[in-house]
Amino acid sequence: MLSKNLFKSITAGAIVLGLGFSLAYAAADDQIKARQAEMKANGKAIGALVAIIKGEASYDAAVVKASLDAMATADAAAGEAKAWDASSMEGATVETWAKPEIWAEGSDIGAKYQAWVDARAALAATTDEAGFKAAFPALGAACQSCHESFRRPKG
Amino acid sequence: MLGFTAFWLLSAPRPLPASAIPAHTANIANGEILYTTGGCRNCHKPKAEQAGLDPNLPSGGFPLKTPIGVLYPPNLTPDAQTGIGNWSDIDFVNAVQRGISKSGQHLIPAFPYTSYAAMPVEDVLDIRAYLMSLPPVASPRREAEIPVAFLLRRGLGLWKFVGLDTASWQPDTSQKPGWNRGSYLVNGPGHCGECHTPRNLIMARDNSRFMMGGPHPEGQGKVPSLHGLVETGRYKDQKDLVLALQNGEVFGYEHMSSGGMGQVQANMAKLPQADVEAIAEYLISLK
């Protein structure tokens, strides 16, 4: 019967559509979680460097390298997970503190990201305590300037 | 009609008379410290596209987005046509402490005169002296993009009965000088409470929740509480908080960059050491 078939196909369509939606949710949620995991890793990694800057820990080239490696790993994992795609803002159910301005026209998120990559490279090239202390502020400033423009405060 | 007349009378601006200006020898260095603490340039800077304008001078025009619309804080350089060059002392004091423009209109309290009102008039005159020492920049004002601005401005006269406390800041004699200096900088020029104290239904600061944090007044995210900064383990001690205010995320301190705090922190970095220590001493006393 026609009406029965129609009913069936509508139901099937609805299921497919519904599935599609929940997949979109899951995708955006995972992207956001990956972004936040990247940033949490950054927060943890910078902690060890700040301890040296503040004189709470003594300079150790191995600690510096491990921290920068952790940031590079977090950065790569986030790229893999498409954590910075605009699609992460569509249909998400978990809370994000990323501002939509990141994806707006004229946004300089690319430059802010590059400044962070460059600051990491400059720090990685240092070989002693004096060099480390001179190069560190640029790294902190890179985190700061991106958050200033593109992150909402959590409260 | 009667209602409207009452509205009109009650909402009229009540400027200070010229006699409110004391005899005073201006101290430009003090003016610069208060200008920095007050973050005047953060709002009154030029717009990025206004090529050729020095971004370090408060020539105005940078859009300030608020929930009621976009405002363009005007030119504060001593240009006679477009800035404050031919303002008198009382014009300036009425703008900064009563929210009344030179032409006698109410100013919108996105301009935090509600905090600046707590400053002694002498300090406001010092800020004016500092501004008058800057090079003049010609940059015409741009009208705010807000619906029914005329009525809204007039209506502010009613709001000011509750939203504008004109009492001057008073020292607490049971506290040390450092604490008092910090209390003054935070509650007067620093206008920290404009963000850190939540607002009530009519958008006035709710002092029963003083510095307790809440929704961001510009509408994005939340502002943290400034109580118990040491007790909750956010900062180890006063020294740690001083480092955080001076260096922010450059030293890996979280929660010092977003929602306008980055600019406040950058201003703190420019203050004399003793003033930052005073601010920290006062803040950690908020339990």
> What domain count does chain B have?
2
pLDDT per residue of chain A (155 residues) written in tens, 0 to 9: 444 554 454 444 444 444 434 445 568 999 999 999 999 999 999 999 999 998 999 999 999 999 999 999 999 999 999 999 999 998 889 999 999 999 999 999 999 999 999 999 999 999 999 999 999 999 999 999 999 999 999 86
For residues B12 and B153, membership in a common domain is answered with yes
- The answer to whether residues B201 and B242 belong to one domain is yes
Shared domain check, B27 and B81? yes
Backbone angles phi, psi at A134, to 5 degrees: -75, -30
Confidence (pLDDT) at B220:
79
Chain A hits for B249, CB-CB cut-off 8 Å, are: 140-141, 143-144, 147
Q: What is the pLDDT of residue B149?
A: 78
Which pLDDT does position A155 carry in this prediction? 66
Q: Which of B163, B193, B215 is the last residue of a domain?
A: B163
pLDDT at B125 over 50: yes
- Residue of chain B minimizing CA distance to A119: B250
Give the list of residues 6+ apart from residue B228 with CB closer than 8 angstroms, or none.
Answer: B234, B286, B287
Q: With respect to residue B172, please indicate whether it lies within any of the assigned structural domains.
A: no
For residues B9 and B150, membership in a common domain is answered with: yes
**What domains sit in chain A, N to C, each tagged with a CATH number?**
4-83+94-150 (1.20.120.10)
Quickly tell me which residue has 């992150």 as its tokens. A151
Q: Do the domain assignments include residue B74?
A: yes
Do B183 and B140 fall within a single domain?
no
Residue B150 lies in a domain: yes
Specify if B170 maps to a domain.
no
Helix (H) or strand (E) holding B64: strand B64-66
What are A59's two structure tokens?
């300079």
Kindly report the CA angle at B90 between B36 and B181, in degrees rounded to 5?
Answer: 35
Q: Which residues of A touch B218 (CB under 8 A)?
A: none
Q: How far apart are CA A23 and CA B77, in angstroms?
A: 56
Examine residue B211 and state whether it is found in any structural domain, yes or no.
yes
- Residue B63 and residue B132 in one domain: yes
Phi, psi of A61 (to 5 degrees): -55, -35
Do B279 and B207 share a structural domain? yes
Cα separation of B131 and A99, whole Å?
A: 35
A154, B250: Cβ pair inside 8 Å?
Answer: no
Q: Express each pLDDT in B136-147 by its tens digit.
A: 999 999 999 988
For B85-239, strand residue ranges (E) read 214-215, 222-223
Residue B134 included in any domain: yes
Same domain, B42 and B18: yes
Distance from the A126 Cα atom to the nearest Cα atom in chain B, whole angstroms: 18
Do B245 and B120 belong together in one domain?
no
Give the model's confidence band at B121: pLDDT under 50 very low, under 70 low, under 90 confident, else very high: very high
User: Looking at B103, B128, B163, which one is the last position of a domain?
Assistant: B163
pLDDT given for residue A26 in this prediction: 64
Question: Which chain B residue shows the shortest CA-CA distance from A145?
Answer: B257
A-B C-beta contacts closer than 8 Å = 69
pLDDT mean over B232-247: 96
DSSP string of B187-209, one letter each residue: HTTT-THHHHS-B-TTS-B-GGG
pTM of the model: 0.90
Structural domain includes residue B31? yes
Together in a domain, B113 and B186: no
Q: Which domain holds residue B220?
A: 177-284
Q: Are residues B21 and B151 in the same domain?
A: yes
- What b/e readout covers B233-257, taking b as 16+ CB neighbours within 10 angstroms? ebbeebebbbbbbbbbbbbbbbbbb
**pLDDT tens readout for residues B70-103:** 999 999 999 999 999 999 999 999 999 999 999 9
Closest CA to B257 of A142, A70, A45, A84: A142
Asked if pLDDT for residue B251 goes beyond 60, the answer is yes
B169 in any annotated domain: no
User: Per residue in B174-209, pLDDT tens?
Assistant: 999 999 999 999 999 999 999 999 998 888 999 999
Q: How far is A16 from chain B (nearest CA, A)?
A: 36
Last residue of a domain, one of B134, B163, B192: B163
Query: How far are the Cα atoms of A75, B31, B43 from residue B185, in angstroms, in the given order?
Result: 40, 13, 18
Are B159 and B192 in a shared domain? no
All residues at 6 or more sequence positions from B135 whose CB lies less than 8 Å from its CB, including other chains: B57, B77
DSSP letter (8 states) at residue B77? S
Nearest-angstrom CA–CA distance, B18 and B88: 9
